[in-house]
Structure 1
Amino acid sequence: MMMNKIKAALCFTGGKDCTLALHRVSTKYNVAMLVTFAPRSAQPFRAHPLHLIQLQAEALDIPHRVLLVDGPDYLGSYRKLIRQLREECGIEALVTGDILDVCNNFMGRAVETTGVELVRPLFQQPRQEILDDCWSLGFDILITCVNNSKFDTGFDASRLMVGHRLTNELLNQVRDYNTKQKSIGEVDLAGEFGEFHTMIIDSPLFRQKISYEAEPVVDGDFTYLNFKSTMLLDKYDC
């Protein structure tokens, strides 16, 4: 007799880490919902455009919900929203793609007293192992933003990365950069310190792939992709 899967929500921004977390937990958990936590008063995060996140959710055929977080008690607001997921939707677990301990175990504290389990399938795993898993699964990983202040002037991250696929060949250039430069510090290969951000265009769980037109735009220290159009295509379309 098969056991029922645990009903879960996935913290989702559309990047490689949360998408890999979804693939890793799919055999044990029923990911019934994708949730994007967003501060109510904040400007949209252009590295992870909401309209593209919603298109990814459609491609995954999983309902998506934006959960607006109120300050100044952000921890309390998170807890309230997580409790609502349990009480209104029957969510028993919250899955994240966290690799590092962020903000003094913020998400661990956020689930306290909510009755919801925190699941972090990528936590503290080697970057190369995570990236290799993404590539072996066939993820199509698009770099949507770089923080140019994280790179020395000898590495043109805007030109080399934004709008390009995250591949081992590209990361070899980053590795080479890390061995040569001394002034700023090494670039994390998974972008865990905000060096760059990604969005997934296709993966095994996507029922359709994403087609897009975009161009890079510079805004202060950041270069990001400005998406002019996005649409879903059948995977067999050229």
Structure 2
Amino acid sequence: MSWSGGKDSALALYHARRDPRRHVTQLLTSVNAHYERVSMHGVRVALLEAQAQRLGLPLHQLRLPEMPAMPEYEQALLDALGEARAAGAAEVVYGDIFLEDLRAYREQQLARAGLRGHFPLWQRPGAELLREFWELGFQAIVVCVNEQHLDASFCGRLLDQDFVRDLPPGVDPCGENGESNTKL
């Protein structure tokens, strides 16, 4: 399971665990080893480890240097995926929603390791996903924003209906275009 610690990966994990054809055995997260934070949005590794413990799943950290080159990242990913495959994994679950190029990239990397991807949130409308997220009792905090889309006042807010209502026009409520990232 590709795990960011945010709402999309949490909802994808929820669906994967409810699917009797799937058995999630571990979480995989890219970590900036220099800062000890999740690469994509800066959440501290200690919080990630606490999430993994609470979920009852081992956390595999893809520990990367501060500014890895793409070949370096891809080799580290391939190594981690190879370890997962050797341990019996057949696929990796992702919380991606609609970015075609990202999904194609992930599937290409997975194929190199002899694995498949599973995308339980794929092509579902953001409003529907958020409604389900809230109805299931999940809560998330916005931990970073892209200031080209949102001002800094959105950071640190609870991802709730007020947050969504306050979004400027054109901003995806799930942050799928990189507008924001969350942490459970």
TM-score, length-normalised on structure 2? 0.84
Cα separation, 2, equivalents of 1:33 and 1:25? 12
Alignment match, 1:92: 90
Q: Contact (CA 8 Å) 1:76, 1:110: kept in 2 or not?
A: no
Q: Contact (CA 8 Å) 1:71, 1:77: kept in 2 or not?
A: no
5+ residue gaps, structure 1: 1-9, 152-156, 179-185, 201-238
Within 5 Å, give how 1:62-81 maps onto structure 2: 62-68=57-63, 71-73=69-71, 74-81=73-80
Q: Report the 3-state secondary structure (helix = DSSP H, G, I; strand = E; otherwise coil) of the residue aligned with 1:150.
A: coil
Deviation at 1:37, TM superposition (A): 2.6
Alignment match, 2:177: 193
Within 5 Å, give how 1:174-189 maps onto structure 2: 174=167, 177-178=168-169, 186-189=170-173
Does residue 167 (structure 1) correspond to residue 151 (structure 2)? The answer is no
Does the C-alpha gap of structure 1 residues 76 and 51 become closer, same or farther in structure 2, counting only changes over 3 Å?
same
5+ residue gaps, structure 2: none
Alpha-carbon displacement from aligned partner over 1:65-112 (angstroms, at most 9, x marks no partner): 10235644244442332122111x221221011112244711110111
Q: Report the 3-state secondary structure (helix = DSSP H, G, I; strand = E; otherwise coil) of the residue aligned with 1:149.
A: coil
Q: Contact (CA 8 Å) 1:47, 1:198: kept in 2 or not?
A: no
Q: Contact (CA 8 Å) 1:75, 1:106: kept in 2 or not?
A: no
Alignment match, 2:111: 112
Cα separation, 2, equivalents of 1:25 and 1:107? 18
Cα separation, 1, equivalents of 2:103 and 2:4? 21
Deviation at 1:42, TM superposition (A): 8.3
Q: Report the 3-state secondary structure (helix = DSSP H, G, I; strand = E; otherwise coil) of the residue aligned with 1:68.
A: strand
Give the letter for the 2:88 counterpart.
G
Cα separation, 2, equivalents of 1:158 and 1:137? 28
Structure with the bigger percentage of strand = 1
Structure with the bigger percentage of helix = 2
Is the radius of gyration larger for structure 1 or structure 2? 1
Deviation at 1:43, TM superposition (A): 7.8
TM-score, length-normalised on structure 1? 0.66
Alignment match, 1:142: 141
Within 5 Å, give how 1:1-238 maps onto structure 2: 10-28=1-19, 29-38=22-31, 44=37, 45=39, 46-68=41-63, 71-73=69-71, 74-87=73-86, 89-99=87-97, 100-103=99-102, 105-151=104-150, 157-159=151-153, 161-174=154-167, 177-178=168-169, 186-200=170-184
Alignment match, 1:7: none
Cα separation, 2, equivalents of 1:97 and 1:55? 20
Deviation at 1:49, TM superposition (A): 2.2
Give the letter for the 2:172 counterpart.
D
Q: Report the 3-state secondary structure (helix = DSSP H, G, I; strand = E; otherwise coil) of the residue aligned with 1:31.
A: coil
